[in-house]
Amino acid sequence: MAKIGINAAFLDEGLKARINAATSAYGHEVVYFENDEEALQGSDGCEILFGNFKPEAITADKALKWLHCSFAGVDKFTSDDIYANPDVIVTNSAGGYGVTIAEHMICVALMMMRRMPEYMAQTAKHGWGIIGEIDSIMRSTITIVGMGDIGTNFARRAKAMGASCIRGVRRTKKPGDAAYDEVYTIDQLDEAIQGADIVALCVPGTDATTHLIDAHRLSLMKDGAYLINVGRGWAVDQPALIQALESGKLRGAALDVVVPEPLPVDDALWNAPNVLITPHVSGNMTLDVTRDLVVDMFCENIAHYSKGEPLRNLVDRKAGY
């Protein structure tokens, strides 16, 4: 019997009912916080926290044993410093965002390849006419850096749309999903990005991913290639990217993550040619599929926790994900 605090801004009554059923089955008590202020005030004394908490809202929580983040990128939650009890178990919701982020990636890939921003600019002026050559996912070569849930959901969709070669890049050499035609390790990244029509970054935010795409790697990319980033902004050297877009080396870049966020109003990135910026929304809680999956994972873990079983989606706080 534990006290569970849940930052519940994304939960409707149906989802709360599912959580109540899953937790009351083991006699737990649930408190819902409707906003960050309530979470800050109310989290103290909870053995379990679930949701999207600000790190400062949990640092004083001595009773906390298990933090289940409702998101996947836990880079702000790996340090011992933010926990009163350094043995806190952290789990994340990796697996809940693959669908929505993969749909975002297919969307922006096609928007860039089919020159939709140019068509929309023409439409805004009530103009009419063919703008020019377009590209397709069909027959394309796509390099996906990060072969987790997100990368793999994207790989499967791109493969189903006729991509001729899907290359996956991961930290260690092990086989991937059947959608990947080739698997590279991260030290083979130079080779993996050469000749690719699309390079897609789905990597967590760790030191190892800082400036993974820098000026040199941009120069190795195929002329007219596209870059997609849905991982962390600092995986890309932004000034180098702006140059690659200005020179025409890259035909487009779709960035859902940037440095810093929010991007300042006067940042040079806004005005780079063929950049498609979204405000870190590819994987937020605005899709019902995502909310369902995230609540499913928490309910599954509540059962494991209550029975003393290993938790799913355990974060390796040293590795950073």
Q: How far is the CB of 288 from its own copies (least distance, A)?
A: 8
- HEC readout, 121-166: HHHHCCCCCCCCCCCCCCCCEEEEECCCHHHHHHHHHHHHCCCCEE
Residue 309's alpha-carbon distances to 24, 213, 314, in angstroms, are 18, 40, 12
CB of 164 to its own copies, least distance (A): 11
Which tokens sit at 83? 């926990």
Three-state SS at 1: coil
Catalytic residue among 68, 232, 251, 291: 232
CB of 98 to its own copies, least distance (A): 10
What token pair was written down for 256? Answer: 């859902």
The label of the residue with tokens 């749909």 reads 103
Residue 28 bears catalytic tag: no
Q: Which residue, 10 or 317, has its beta carbon nearer to its own copies?
A: 10
3-state secondary structure of 298: helix
Cα separation, 41 vs 172, in Å, equals 42
Residue 199 has which token pair?
Answer: 């390079």
Q: How far is the CB of 28 from its own copies (least distance, A)?
A: 30
Taking the least distance from each CB to its own copies, the nearer of 69 and 212 is 69
Instruction: Compare residues 133 and 207 and give the one whose CB is closer to its own copies.
Output: 133
Least distance (Å) between residue 57 CB and its own copies: 20
Strand partners, 201: 145, 229
Nearest to 84 by CA among 69, 62, 63, 67: 62
> Is 139 among the residues known to form the active site?
no
| 88 or 163: CB nearest its own copies | 163
Nearest one of 205, 263, 220, 204 to 238, comparing CA atoms = 263
Can you read off the two tokens belonging to residue 248? 């025409």
216 included as an active-site residue = no
CA dist 244 and 252 (Å) reads 9
The residue (of 65 and 119) whose beta carbon lies closer to its own copies is: 119
Nearest approach, Cβ of residue 100 and its own copies (Å) = 6
Determine how many CB atoms are found less than 10 A away from the CB of residue 312.
16
Pick the catalytic residue: 34, 56, 261, 309?
A: 261
Of 232, 286, 295, 279, whose CA–CA distance to 95 is shortest?
Answer: 295
Choose between 86 and 273: whose C-beta lies nearer to its own copies: 273
Catalytic residue among 280, 304, 309, 312: 280
Binding residues for its own copies, rule: CB under 8 A, are 99-100, 103-104, 106-107, 110-111, 113-114, 116-117, 119-120, 122-123, 126-139, 156-157, 160-162, 261-263, 265-267, 270, 276-279, 281, 284, 286-289
Q: 10 Å Cβ neighbour count for 253?
A: 28
Q: Which residues are catalytic?
A: 232, 261, 280
